[in-house]
């Protein structure tokens, strides 16, 4: 897989599809996955625009993360990576940790964000500390934790292929990188940043998401002035994998409304 070199010499893994004159779209993954989980979106959105999915530092094909890496470091790496790829402005779509990083990206470089799509995420999680501690405890055996948690992540009954993909993807993450990602997402409090957002924003959440339930999306809706929200039926925490056609349709409709 290709990698792009950021302004500090760090290498970030990415995969892309498509091209054309429409504003590009960037995809940011969750704590238990990597860029590969966006393949259904890359195939779809690459038909009419440049679509790029990135790994964070320590994930996938990126260089190993450094001790002390934060969600703001993830955001800076993404901004530098899109610079290197010649993308001036993009729609930023993030799921779970990706949504947290999307908000951090807007905070650092609002002019680079044509819009935000925030899926199954939050500004602050009321149970974040407890989830973080469970994540750290389970990080020594990510394959075992993936098997133990996957049925809580996904709506039931689940597609066996989606279940297999989730377990395999989580199992290959570096435990060190996972612990950094867990801190970046579950200990986040970005309520002030969300309230300062002045960019068109689509909030998506699965109707069976028990990890980041709809109440947290409603909080984002209340905080972000230009936000709208859609609930995806038959999906848990991983809406883009569980209901890709509906996820893509809702994002398509949103982009059609806000693009000239």
What is the DSSP code string of 94-131?
EETHHHHHHHHHHHH-GGGEEEEEEES--SB-TTHHHH
| pLDDT value of position 119 | 98
Domain assignment of residue 37, given as a range: 3-258
DSSP three-state, residue 3: strand
| pLDDT value of position 172 | 96
Q: Which parts of the chain sit beneath pLDDT 70?
A: none
CATH of the domain at 8: 3.40.50.1820
| pLDDT value of position 10 | 87
| pLDDT value of position 15 | 98
Distance, CA of 232 to CA of 155 (rounded, Å): 11
| pLDDT value of position 62 | 97
Q: 8 exposed, middle or buried (CB, 10 Å; 0-12, 13-18, 19+)?
A: exposed
Which whole-number Å values give the CA distances from 21 to 49, 86, 257, 259, in the listed order?
Answer: 7, 13, 17, 12
Alpha helices in the chain (DSSP H): 39-45, 71-84, 97-108, 128-138, 142-153, 160-171, 175-186, 191-195, 214-223, 239-242, 244-258
Q: Judging by DSSP bridges, how do beta strands 11-17 and 3-5 pair with one another?
A: antiparallel
Q: What is the pLDDT of residues 4-41, one digit of tens each?
A: 998 788 899 999 999 989 999 999 999 999 999 999 99
Owner of token pair 């992540």 = 153
Number of domains in the chain: 1
| pLDDT value of position 189 | 98
The verdict on pTM exceeding 0.95 is: yes
């Amino acid at each position: 897989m290709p990698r792009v070199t950021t302004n500090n010499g760090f290498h970030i893994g990415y995969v892309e599809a498509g091209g054309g004159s429409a504003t590009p779209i960037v995809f940011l993954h969750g704590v238990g996955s990597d860029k590969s989980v966006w393949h259904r979106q890359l195939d779809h959105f690459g038909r009419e625009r440049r679509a790029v999915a990135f790994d964070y530092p320590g994930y996938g094909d990126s260089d190993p993360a450094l001790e002390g890496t934060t969600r703001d470091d993830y955001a800076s790496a993404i901004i530098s990576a899109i610079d290197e790829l010649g993308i001036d402005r993009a729609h930023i779509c993030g799921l779970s940790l990706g949504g947290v990083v999307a908000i951090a990206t807007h905070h650092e470089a609002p002019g680079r964000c044509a819009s935000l799509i925030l899926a199954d995420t939050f500004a602050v999680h009321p149970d974040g500390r407890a989830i973080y501690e469970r994540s750290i405890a389970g990080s020594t055996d990510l394959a075992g934790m993936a098997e133990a948690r996957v049925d809580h992540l996904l709506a039931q009954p689940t597609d066996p292929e989606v279940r297999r993909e989730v377990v395999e993807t989580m199992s290959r993450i570096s435990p060190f990188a996972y612990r950094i990602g867990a801190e970046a997402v579950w200990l986040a409090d970005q309520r002030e940043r969300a309230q300062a957002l002045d960019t068109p924003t689509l909030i998506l959440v699965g109707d069976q998401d028990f990890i980041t339930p709809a109440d947290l999306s409603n909080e984002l809706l209340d905080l972000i002035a230009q936000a709208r929200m859609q609930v995806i039926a038959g999906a848990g925490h991983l809406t883009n994998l569980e209901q890709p056609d509906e996820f893509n349709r809702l994002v398509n409709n949103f982009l059609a409304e806000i693009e000239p």
